[in-house]
Amino acid sequence: MKVQTLPPTDGNYNLQDYEEAKQNFDWSEIEKQFSWHETGKVNMAYEAIDRHAENPDKQNQVALHYLDGSRKEEYTFADMKKYTNKAANVMKEAGIQKGDRVFIFMSRSPELYFALLGAIKVGAIVGPLFEAFMEGAVRDRLEDSEAKALVTTPQLVERVPFDDLPNLETVFIHGGVDDEKGGFLDFDARLQQAGSDFEPEWVDREDGLILHYTSGSTGKPKGVYHVHNAMIQHYQTAKWVLDLKDGDVYWCTADPGWVTGTSYGIFGPWLAGVTNVVRGGRFSAQDWYDTLDRYNVSVWYSAPTAFRMLMSAGDELMKDYDLSSLRHILSVGEPLNPEVVRWGEKAFNLRIHDTWWMTETGAMMICNYPAMTIKAGSMGKPIPGVYGAIVDDQGNELPPNRMGNLAIKPTWPSMMRAIWNRKEKFDSYFELNGWYVSGDSAYMDEDGYFWFQGRVDDVIMTAGERVGPFEVESKLVEHPAVGEAGVIGKPDPVRGEIIKAFVALREGYEPSDELKEEIQSFVKKELAGHVAPKEIEFRKSLPKTRSGKIMRRVLKAWELDLPTGDLSTMED
């Protein structure tokens, strides 16, 4: 593989600091940042909000800039303390206690953040649900977790199958409910009346914080269970990788229904005490550039799919906005194509920093941190305190440049503590000699950089060669006509598998046989003959998760006429 090496950035840390940090690293040093280091008792919401609200230098700083089509509001750390206290009082009065599961099923609004942090203040375990979930997906999650309470809206409550959920005792409605009809509680009215003082429930570091449901390639979604202790890593990666410091305005574009939207849309930035921007509503290139400009965003965490959409919207549009406040851009969730890194360089004069982690790992694990030399296309290196490796199917570490299972040596502070109610599922992550096995395949080069190749199930074997679909997809999107591409292995009697590409064309291009051939020879020419797709199928759009990942297993199921499995995370 050809590698483009970019010169180092001049961040505030130099590489030496990281390399030294790695040598004698001890996570227990990091927790000295927090008051619970002395008391032994902790609450995430206290550390993220109240601590700053009690600090005269911080209390009047804006903690949350909220913006959508109809609301534009700002809340200082003192305001956030007040409203999360009120939310905690509302929950406590309704009988919610430590350890109860409180689900939050609503689109982004300031009240979502009050409710989520308020629930944490009473010691509950929060379960955020993405607004687009339909009835079956809602049922699976509330049933599995035996949720006791739910905060939702008049529109979304229609999708809650109450008859199937005997444990669900309390339902709060944000956004209007007449006279608490039908036993629904009016969250907004109660919030207004509630007292603004609240003593957080002090819990143990190993007590439950959050449940994020995530899909595997088979079976029902799994409840990934995280505890308060995760804050050590949220905080440290917010410092080291997001590079957050006093004065920063930070924007994470992810919805809190996904782990990025909580670990780095709530916990990381507020533990670090910076101003956090939340933009509600759907993606629009104009709105996004406007958000960067309006708030003078300095650090921006987003995803390849969003960058590709901005890229497709064209550079002309950008000229209407002043984006000069940006100093650091990061990406997560799926492979960051070298093409996108190069676009970022041109468009923002900044390198987009890729980060790798998973719902299960709770926080960033393998990253391009600010001082590092970026190799475009690589996810970077394990952060200090994390030991990553490539192992074979027996759990033996492989030497550099060999493709295998991306694995991490347990454990780290933000590691999941369980899969809710499914011990055997949890244990199955550690079957290879005790390594945490990610399910991703990758290789590590001689400099210790990790290169993503695909989910293990996605790896294509063609004519005896292992081919990672990402490499082919990345090349395909470099062709001027190609907007997005998904690549799968299609069974073939001669070659084992052949490579088939599903392609969505950019605006202004029409499908044709000539275009197919042109794209095929482009990949052949640029990459290699054996990785050029033998078949190309044009589609209006590709099946993607709501977090933007191309769902290759769905493409494969379509191709082979197989059942598509769990589609609850698929974008409509």
Stretch that binds ligand WT7, among 56-64, 382-390, 432-440, 534-542 (CB under 6 A): 432-440
Cβ closer to ligand WT7: 356 or 436?
Answer: 356
The reply to whether 65 sits near ligand WT7 by the rule CB under 6 A is no
The reply to whether 77 sits near ligand WT7 by the rule CB under 6 A is no
- Token digits of residue 417: 């503590």
Cβ closer to ligand WT7: 160 or 365?
Answer: 365
Look at residues 301, 262, 266 and name the one whose alpha carbon lies nearest to residue 128.
262
Burial track 99-109 (b if 16+ CB lie within 10 A, e otherwise): ebbbbbbbbbb
The reply to whether 414 sits near ligand WT7 by the rule CB under 6 A is no
Residues 319-358 that bind ligand WT7 (CB under 6 A): 332-335, 354-358
DSSP notation for 494-512: TTEEEEEEEEEEPTT----
Give the contact letters, 213-242, x = binds to ligand WT7 (CB under 6 A), - = no. Answer: -x----------------------------
* Interface with ligand WT7 (CB under 6 A), residue from 91, 120, 371, 379: 379
The reply to whether 543 sits near ligand WT7 by the rule CB under 6 A is no
**Cα–Cα distance, 118 to 130 (Å, whole number):** 19
Cβ closer to ligand WT7: 118 or 413?
Answer: 413
Cβ closer to ligand WT7: 259 or 415?
Answer: 259
CA 290 to chain centre: 23
Residues 439-498 that bind ligand WT7 (CB under 6 A): 439-440, 452, 455
Q: In the bound complex, what is the minimum distance in angstroms from residue 236's beta carbon to ligand WT7?
A: 16
Question: Is the separation of the CB atoms in 17 and 384 below 8 Å?
Answer: no
What sign has the CA pseudo-torsion 330, 336, 342, 348? negative
Q: How many helices (H) and strands (E) does the chain have?
A: 19, 28
Helix, strand or coil for residue 275? Answer: strand
Q: In the bound complex, what is the minimum distance in angstroms from residue 361's beta carbon to ligand WT7?
A: 7
DSSP notation for 72-86: EEEEEHHHHHHHHHH
* Interface with ligand WT7 (CB under 6 A), residue from 168, 194, 259, 408: 259
Length of the chain: 572
Q: In the bound complex, what is the minimum distance in angstroms from residue 31's beta carbon to ligand WT7?
A: 23
Cβ closer to ligand WT7: 191 or 358?
Answer: 358
What sign has the CA pseudo-torsion 338, 344, 346, 347? positive
Q: DSSP code of 33? A: G
Cβ closer to ligand WT7: 74 or 571?
Answer: 571
Q: In the bound complex, what is the minimum distance in angstroms from residue 475's beta carbon to ligand WT7?
A: 16
Q: Which stretch of DSSP H or E encloses residue 13?
A: none
What is the total count of residues that contact ligand WT7 (CB under 6 A)? 20
Q: DSSP code of 47? A: I
Cβ closer to ligand WT7: 216 or 280?
Answer: 216
What sign has the CA pseudo-torsion 227, 228, 232, 236? positive
Position of minimal CB gap to ligand WT7: 359
Q: In the bound complex, what is the minimum distance in angstroms from residue 278's beta carbon to ligand WT7?
A: 18
Question: Is the separation of the CB atoms in 337 and 472 below 8 Å?
Answer: no
Question: Which stretches of the chain bind ligand WT7, using CB under 6 A?
Answer: 214, 259-260, 332-335, 354-359, 379, 438-440, 452, 455, 547
